[in-house]
Amino acid sequence: MRDIQHFVSGAALAGTSGRFGDVFDPNTGEVQARVALATPVELDAAVQAAAAAQPAWAATNPQRRARVMFEFKRLVEARMDELAALLSSEHGKVIADSRGDVQRGLEVIEFACGIPHVLKGEYTEGAGPGIDIYSMRQPLGVVAGITPFNFPAMIPMWMFGIAIAVGNAFILKPSEKDPSVPVRLGELFLEAGGPAGILNVVHGDKVAVDAILAHPLIKAVSFVGSSDIAQYVYAAGTANGKRVQAMGGAKNHGVILPDADMDQVVNDIMGAAFGSAGERCMALPVVVPVGRKTADELRERVVAEIETLKVGISSDPAAQYGPVVSAAHRQKIADYIALGKDEGAELVVDGRGFSLQGYEKGFFIGPTLFDNVTTGMKTYQEEIFGPVLQIVRAETFDEAVALPSRHQYGNGVALYTRSGRAAREFAQRVEVGMVGINVPIPVPVAYHTFGGWKRSAFGDTNQHGVEGVKFYTKVKTVTQRWPEGDAHDSAFIIPTMK
């Protein structure tokens, strides 16, 4: 059995804690590797390596840092198949989804390649008599990212791509469930010409997280995970004087107006609700059809589409989604399905009995559909994070807008309609951070920013784009005056052509 070690200062670092976590193959249910779990000692070793390497990296001009990012992008693209296969083997998502995971991360790396332009400051000539003012953005020093299991390539690149490009050194603490791809990214960064110590990967559980939140040399922490832990990370990190952005859970709604293109709606919902086994914070687990006719048609067509869904092993090119990440998570989803039925929702399609021939020990669960879900149900209020779609019926447009607006989460929302007026009003009124109009998963492109509202995000700065640059830098403003008669004026000679 292989051991997955930490990656510190450009080399593998063996764990000394004696603690390991099992890394499963979700397709078979078997343990395929074990990952070292760090103590504060290993974390400190990574921080010290980062702190030693960071000043020289910060002093490297932005163009040269961008060239490293360009080469890193090329290397990741060249190894796309390798990375996707490795990702699928530990996470369980199908190869197409794994390739998308890597590609969406690379889009932020592409943005980071333009960092010389983004880092330009502001300048005011003649702010006062002989006075000019300019500003500059400088890196924070050593920063850290704590990332979840569901996007082991994309979310790390969302964080470290910008953090490193602006001149910081980065400590990545990925999920211990699928840790291999983050290590490969660290190796590829080194191969791309990145200095040793600038990108470090430290594996671990809560012990490592707490060590990151307490370490005095770590100036900022970016987190993605569940809302309860996001709130804990934000509270603990800020209490220790750190800058923190902590992205939490979601319960995204898709509102379907009577005039919507139902062919597009059904096609989009199937991918958004069940793709990647629903293990996405931007999945669409709740649909809100407006009017009985819309709801009845939607239900009938979704049931028919569910019957055609192919659930298979992650390497099956015909599979539309694969297993969930662990046996514990599969059981959690099954418990939510049981609870939904007990709460009185109509269980139209039950995925709990699904089993894949030849892979009976894999962590599979079939697509599930509930109808007549109400807002008082715990299964509506909480994030299930699995292939479970809930229909919440609404009678009016106003009622439909109110549902996502009143929910504790405010990550993403979608509206399906042919009406520009309805779309404009919906986008203005809905209390959610990211809105899609006839788009089921409204994840912004890399040069915009990602971030939800309410319990979906803690902190004032979103991820990637210009907001990411702001998070990983601090502004310094210089006010300067060069009065006439300065002692050095006489020594200054303007060069001529003589």
**Active-site position among 281, 345, 365, 457:** 281
Whole-angstrom Cα Rg for the chain: 25
Tokens, residue 322: 């694969």
Tokens, residue 362: 């894999």
8 A C-beta contact, residue 255 and residue 288: yes
8 A C-beta contact, residue 162 and residue 111: yes
Q: Which residues are paired to 476 by β-bridges?
A: 136
- Reference 390, options 454, 341, 321; nearest CA is 341
Instruction: For residue 309, give the amino acid letter.
Output: L
- Reference 169, options 11, 28, 46; nearest CA is 46
8 A C-beta contact, residue 158 and residue 464: yes
113 is catalytic: no
Q: Which residues contact 244 (CB under 8 A, 6 or more apart)?
A: 220, 221, 222, 223, 233, 234, 237, 238, 458, 459
8 A C-beta contact, residue 185 and residue 153: yes
Q: Which residues contact 172 (CB under 8 A, 6 or more apart)?
A: 144, 145, 147, 156, 159, 160, 182, 186, 199, 200, 201, 202
Q: Which position has the token pair 């050593």?
A: 142
Catalytic residues: 281
